[in-house]
Chain A
Amino acid sequence: MKKALILLGCPESPAQTPLAIYTTYKLTEMGYLVTVACTPSAKKLIEVADPAEHYLKNKMDIETCLDGLEEGLYDLLIGFVHKDAAVSYFVTFYHILNCKSLAVVFHRDPEKLEYFEKTVQENTEAETVSARAYHNPTPIRVRLDRALKKLEEL
């Protein structure tokens, strides 16, 4: 079974938790075994939103995940990028895993959005999707759907 790792940053942006659950659902439908690497607070948000682990079964602390990360452990990396630190984490995970990768970049400030997307593109060969989003996950969800469809067709 193909394995996917979803990398969650700081859960400050309200769009992140629903997007994480939605992406897990979509990837599971595509036949991936999904693991989410996240901060303790991001994990609590997911646990409250999905108490019976209907969607998300495998959650891992981001630092523990990073410590044991090796090339070949996952077939796909999807990172949610909405802070400078999230860019650094995504780029680091990308260079360790060296697998097919997608950065989902979102922010409400257009300048930061452009900077984060450009920095990911300059430092990786990952696919990127980006949209202005904060409370409303729909703009980024639409682009994520397109990217996942493209991934499925490969």
Chain B
Amino acid sequence: MFCLDTYLRESEDYQIHMSRAGFKDCARFIEDKAPEVVHVKPGEKIVGARVIGLPPVPIGINEEKGTIILPYTKPCYGTAVVEIPVPSEEREKIREKKIG
């Protein structure tokens, strides 16, 4: 099973669009830049990790690149926007968690 924390530790194939930012700015970035946006509940498990943020939490999907763009928050470092490649079944699982 895909695990975000392990992936970010062990892979270099990801892109950080923003870092040490506030959650609202990161959410706005995802809403503006992602070709497709799915909103999920805070605490929802996305690629093996609970997503942290204010509801509704936007998760971007780029079907063409095979990536997702999501907020990634750590207590001392604020929120980052990370884009990672994920298998198509994981992208489908995210769509199933859509709210609203």
Interface residues of B (CB under 8 A from A): 5, 22-23, 41-43, 50-55, 73-79
Contact = CB atoms under 8 A, between A and B. Distances in A.
Contacts of A83: 75-76, 78
8 contacts: A66-B43, A85-B52, A85-B74, A87-B54, A88-B52, A92-B50, A95-B42, A95-B55
A95 B78 contact: no
A66 B50 contact: yes
B97 to A, nearest CB: 14
Classify the secondary structure of B's interface with A.
Answer: loop
Interface in A43-65: 62-63
Contact of B23 (A66, A87, A93, A95): A87
Contacts of B55: 91, 95, 123
Given A83-B75, A88-B53, 5 more contacts: A10-B76, A84-B78, A85-B76, A92-B43, A95-B42
B42 A92 contact: yes
A86 B54 CA distance: 11
Given A69-B43, A92-B43, A95-B42, A85 B75 contact: yes
Contacts of A66: 43, 50, 52
A87 B42 CA distance: 12
A12 interface: yes
B79 to A, nearest CB: 7
Contacts of B54: 87-88, 91, 119, 123
A152 interface: no
B41 to A, nearest CB: 6
Contacts of B75: 9-10, 39, 62, 83, 85-86, 89
The 4 tightest CB contacts between A and B, nearest first, are A10-B76, A96-B43, A92-B42, A84-B22
A111 interface: no
A153 interface: no
A53 to B, nearest CB: 23
Nearest to A12: B76
A96 B55 CA distance: 12
